Amino acid sequence: MTETAFVTIDRLAALVPDGALLAVPKDESGVAIAATFALIRRQVRNLHILCVPTSGLQADLLIGAGCVATVECGAVSLDEFGPAPRFRSAVQTGKVRILDSTCPAIYAALQAAEKGSPFAPLRGLIGSDVQRMRNDWLVTENPFAETRDPIVLLPAIRPDVAMFHARLADRRGNVWVGNRRELVIMAHAAKTALATVEEIYDGDLIADERFAAGTVPALYVGAVAHCPRGAWPLALAGRYDCDAVAMRDYAAAAKTDAGFEGWLARHIDRAAAI
C-alpha cells in the first residue's frame, strides 16, 4: 500500500492473507484482540505467528480457532492466569509447528530486517537446546577475532504483517505507540503494519513534539481501524486495565475444546459493529 487506508475492523482482518507471517506483540504492549476476533470470523488459515517476543491470549485464540500452522516464540502464556490452554494442547498433540526461540533472538532478527541486513549476529545461544533445535541458525566464527570466537547468525525476519493496537492515529495514518518500541521495530521490519486504535487524533502526530518520538510514521502503516477498547480483555497502558474476570473465565473455559468454543461464541462478535 502506498498510503494508509482507514477501514472497518473486518476489512482490516481481510488484509491478512492465509499463510501470512504475522507479527504480534506481548500482552502488555498493545494487542489487537478485536482484530483477532475478526480474523477468526473470516476463518483465516495457516498463519505463521511470530510472537514479539512472547504472546498469550491472542496466540491462544488463533490456535484454538484453527487459524495457525506455526508459532515462533520465546513463550506463550497467560501469565498470572496460568498456561495458555489451547497452545498447550496444540503442542501436546502436534497440531501446530513450534519454532522455539528466545526474546533477544526475535528482536535481533527483526532489527536485521528493519535495517535491511540479511542476518544478525547474537551471543548467548551456543550450546543451548534452543540453538540445537534451530537448523536455520548458523554457528560461525567471528571474522574479526584473533582467536576462536564462535557466534550465531540469525536470518532476518521480515513479517508479511505486523498487527497491534495503539492509543492514537491521526488522519494521515501516523500511529502513536508511546514507549512500546517493539511495535516500532515490528512496523519497520514488516512489509506492512495494520493498527487498531482507541482514538483518531485531529492533528499531525509527527509534527507534535509530545508525540513525535513515539509515533510510527504512516509510511509503514497499511491500514488503521478505529476500535475503542480494541485490546479487551487485555489492558492498554494509560487507558484501561486487564479484565481479570474475563481472563480467569477464559483460562478455565479454554482447557477443553467445548469450553473454548463456548467462550469464543460469547465474545467473537464483540467488536463487529464498531
Summarize pLDDT for 88-107 with one digit per residue, the tens.
999 999 999 999 999 999 99
Residue 170 phi, psi dihedral angles, 5° rounding: -95, 175
Residues 187 and 161: beta-carbon distance below 8 Å? no
Domains in the chain, please, with CATH? Answer: 5-102+157-267 (3.40.1080.10), 119-155 (no CATH)
Proportion of the chain above pLDDT 90, given as a percent: 96
Instruction: Give residue for cell 497467560.
Output: 78
The mean pLDDT of the chain is: 96
Instruction: List the one residue out of 242, 231, 193 whose CA is nearest residue 215.
Output: 193
pLDDT of residue 184: 98
Name the pLDDT band for 3 (thresholds 50, 70, 90): confident
Q: How distant, in Å, are the alpha carbons of 21, 24, 35, 111, 198 from that of 159?
A: 5, 10, 17, 12, 24
Q: 124-162 in b/e burial notation, b at 16+ Cβ within 10 A?
A: ebeeeeebeebeebeeeeeeeeeeeeebbbbebbbbbbb
Instruction: Give the DSSP letter string of 33-90.
Output: HHHHHHHHHTT--SEEEEEESEESHHHHHHHHTT-EEEEEESEEB-GGG-B-HHHHHH
Instruction: List the one residue out of 52, 47, 53 whose CA is nearest residue 13.
Output: 47
Residue 185 corresponds to which amino acid?
Answer: I
Name the pLDDT band for 186 (thresholds 50, 70, 90): very high
pLDDT of residue 9: 97
* DSSP 8-state code for residue 24: E
Name the pLDDT band for 273 (thresholds 50, 70, 90): very low
The DSSP bridge partners found for residue 40 are: none
Question: Has residue 4 got a pLDDT over 80?
Answer: yes
Question: Has residue 272 got a pLDDT over 60?
Answer: no
Cell numbers of 43, please?
476463518
Instruction: Give residue for cell 492473507.
Output: 17
Global pTM? 0.95
Side-chain-facing half-sphere of 133: CA atoms under 13 Å: 10
Name the pLDDT band for 270 (thresholds 50, 70, 90): confident
